[in-house]
Amino acid sequence: MSKELLQAILLDPTYHDYLSILKGARNGFVYGVKVRFPHALLMAFLFGKGSWAVRLRSVLKQTWTHATGLTKYVIVYKTLVVLLKKMNGGRNQRFDTFFSGLVAGYFTLGERTTINEHILLHGLGRVVVAVMPRAPTPRTPPSSPISPNAPPLVRPLPPNAQWFAAFTAVTSGLLMWLFEQHGERVQPGLFSSFTYLYRDSNHWDSFRTFMLQNRP
């Protein structure tokens, strides 16, 4: 395929919605690597057990799991948004993002794993913060008290798998709906992350900005 033909396809409005899914997958994978790799590397260095080879394999496995999981989520979410848009005459309805996020969250993040628990807690916290009244000016939050150590015989129990999947689905749907319909209520860091994943993936002007880098 010639460079000119590839450029023509990338810039053809006919293919835009479908290509945005592909670029979204690319951004999801890159973002997952950026988020998970340094965190996993630091945790392996501070608290890891076993040889450095074992720790490195764990870091790479966690990074791959997070990156591919986020990639799958973006693909399912954006695919559903595009399909619903086509079904509604080329325009998305108000709750399309909630439905798409709910389905994507259930099927791609619903399995109870450590990484998915981190994603759920991260997302749930942002949903809770989003429904709080907005402060007119930034305020410094009070410092949190130090919790006492739990008794030695107490062990944390994992959440019920079915409830975890349902909770993840609802949280995911609410996050996507808030981002698209009430972006002013979304925490700035999450807003920037979602912009990278779901809006920047709708824009490119060449193969370089389609696949090699996000923006010029």
Q: Where are the domains of the chain?
A: 16-132+161-203
Residues 17-65: tens digit of each pLDDT: 999 999 999 999 999 999 999 999 998 888 788 899 999 999 999 999 9
**Overall average pLDDT of the 135-157 stretch:** 54
Q: In one letter, which amino acid is 99?
A: F
Question: Residue 127: which of 190, 80, 171 has the closest Cα?
Answer: 171
pLDDT at 130: 76
Give the separation between CA 32 and CA 34, rounded to whole angstroms: 5
Q: What is the C-alpha to C-alpha distance for residues 31 and 8, in angstroms, rounded to an integer? A: 27
Residue 146 in this model has a pLDDT that exceeds 70: no
Reported as a single tens digit per residue, the pLDDT across 61-88 is 999 999 999 999 999 999 999 999 999 9
Q: Which residue has the higher pLDDT, 118 or 146?
A: 118
- The answer to whether the beta carbons of residues 202 and 16 sit under 8 Å apart is yes
Question: With the CA atoms of 124, 130, 131 and 132 taken in that order, what torsion angle do they form, in degrees rounded to the nearest 10?
Answer: 110
Nearest alpha carbon to residue 200 among 8, 25, 64: 25
- Place 213 in a pLDDT band, splitting at 50, 70 and 90: confident
